[in-house]
Structure 1
Amino acid sequence: MVRGKTEMKRIENTTSRQVTFSKRRSGLLKKAYELSVLCDVEVALIIFSSRGKLYEFSSSSMQSTLERYREHSREDTSSTIMEEDTEQWKHEAACMSKKIEHLEASKQKLLGENLESCSFDELNELEGKIEQSLRSIRGRKYHLLKEQISQLKEKESSLVKENALLREKCKRLPQLPSAASKGVPPFGTLGQHTEVETELRIGFPGRGTH
């Protein structure tokens, strides 16, 4: 009698589900043992029942097999991550290269170069961008000029105030007396009242002249 194909879905009847679990578990453990012996391979099998009970089989040591599996998984994960990162870097580099080429082409067009391939609409758009840039440049220039003029006016006002303070200080200084107030005769009148006697002598003092 040919057995019908079992439908792969959860067995709703609890008793039937438990019987099937016991049979399939025993068969799976037996197959794992046979595979390890016949093919000389390292096999580890772990089963948790619906109630949380553990069933396991290991052809050598469960701990060493699990550690070997973790090492292998880490290597595969690192390799996969590195490959994904490499692909992402290549994609980003290609996108960046295209952006640089586009910016370089736009720069040359703004400088008035390589305009042969531009259509009328592209030239009109380029002209509008240049005019907008010129307006921005002029606006910035006028703003800087206004700031400089404002700074110069503030400096001028400060110098005017400082000059006024210096004038006030000069007015407060005491006046020096004039020569007339000291009773000193003016130059030229001294020669009219004073006679100066001069004498020319030749030789050492005390000796007669020859």
Structure 2
Amino acid sequence: MGRGRVELKRIENKINRQVTFSKRRNGLLKKAYELSVLCDAEVGLIIFSSRGKLYEFASAGMSRTLERYQRSSYNSQDNSLVVADRETQSWYQEVSKLKAKYESLQRSQRHLLGEDLGPLSVKELQNLEKQLEGALSQARQRKTQIMVEQMEELRRKERQLGDMNKQLKNKLEADTQGSYRVIQGSWESTALVGNNNFSGHPSQSSSMDCEPTLQIGYHQYVSAEGASIPRSTAGENNFIQGWVL
């Protein structure tokens, strides 16, 4: 039955810690020796105990192994420095290229704006003129295209407004015809009611259609006191009163 997995932590018991150190130290030294013999490797092992005691193993001598280790470490440092220098030089070259390109673009921009034209030769000026003509032609084409697109948009809006105007006109005509029909119906109903009222009062119509009549004899005369007397008597009385006066 195999042992369980040992947890890697400091052994608190001093005696057990010392026993474990002795066993594992001997095993580690044995493994280093076997590795150097089996694989023909130069192995150097240095162990210091908790009390400061030194234990070592070197297959080719400790001083020789340490010297070789120092040379290897220095070479690795030198190699890292060389790699860093190369990276620095590459970045410096890249920055120099970008800086030169930036300055060239600035000069081209100044030339396109009509500045610093003195150092340019005739050929360079001709090339600059061609560039300006090409840029001007492209700008005009783009302007024409934008104007055409704007005109098309305005025409489309005009058609939409025309359709809306027609719809509103048709709606207005329909509303006008409906209101005219309502007014005409109200007029007809009013005329019908007036005819019915006129035909329902025969006394009024008969009073309007008067016929001429003839009355024979004296008309009654109403005095101021309210008594009725014949017309002839009233005339005689008036004549007598006037003669007496």
After superposition, the C-alpha distances for 1:31-80 in whole angstroms (9 at most, x for unaligned) are xxxxxxxxxxxxxxx999xxxx6212223368xx8x99998787666544
Classify 1:143/1:68 alpha carbon distance in 2 versus 1 (closer, same or farther; 3 Å): farther
Alignment: residue pair count: 134
After superposition, the C-alpha distances for 1:124-157 in whole angstroms (9 at most, x for unaligned) are 1111110000001111111111111111111111
How far, CA to CA, are the matches of 2:115 and 2:170 in structure 1? 66
Alignment of 1:14-93 (within 5 A): 54-60=39-45, 79-93=81-95
Q: Which residue does 2:146 correspond to in 1?
A: 144
Classify 1:146/1:68 alpha carbon distance in 2 versus 1 (closer, same or farther; 3 Å): farther
Following superposition, the deviation at residue 162 of structure 1 comes to 1.1
Amino acid of the residue matched to residue 58 of structure 1? V
Classify 1:69/1:147 alpha carbon distance in 2 versus 1 (closer, same or farther; 3 Å): farther
Following superposition, the deviation at residue 110 of structure 1 comes to 1.1
Classify 1:57/1:144 alpha carbon distance in 2 versus 1 (closer, same or farther; 3 Å): same
How far, CA to CA, are the matches of 2:96 and 2:90 in structure 1? 10
Normalised by the length of structure 2, the TM-score is 0.45
How far, CA to CA, are the matches of 2:160 and 2:72 in structure 1? 80
Classify 1:70/1:169 alpha carbon distance in 2 versus 1 (closer, same or farther; 3 Å): farther
How far, CA to CA, are the matches of 1:77 and 1:58 in structure 2? 24
Q: Which residue does 1:160 correspond to in 2?
A: 162
Classify 1:158/1:70 alpha carbon distance in 2 versus 1 (closer, same or farther; 3 Å): farther
How far, CA to CA, are the matches of 1:47 and 1:137 in structure 2? 81
Normalised by the length of structure 1, the TM-score is 0.52
How far, CA to CA, are the matches of 2:70 and 2:169 in structure 1? 97
Structure 2: gaps (5+ residues): 1-34, 47-57, 59-65, 192-245
Classify 1:158/1:58 alpha carbon distance in 2 versus 1 (closer, same or farther; 3 Å): same
How far, CA to CA, are the matches of 1:70 and 1:152 in structure 2? 82
How far, CA to CA, are the matches of 1:164 and 1:68 in structure 2? 99
Question: Which protein is bigger by CA-based radius of gyration?
Answer: 2
Following superposition, the deviation at residue 120 of structure 1 comes to 1.0
Q: Which residue does 2:122 correspond to in 1?
A: 120
Following superposition, the deviation at residue 83 of structure 1 comes to 2.7
* SS of aligned partner of 2:42: strand
How far, CA to CA, are the matches of 1:106 and 1:131 in structure 2? 15
Q: Which residue does 1:134 correspond to in 2?
A: 136
Is the Cα–Cα contact under 8 Å of residues 111 and 117 in structure 2 kept in the other structure?
Answer: yes
Identify the structure with the greater helix proportion: 2
How far, CA to CA, are the matches of 1:165 and 1:68 in structure 2? 98
Aligned to 1:175, which of 179, 197, 212?
Answer: 179
How far, CA to CA, are the matches of 2:92 and 2:161 in structure 1? 65
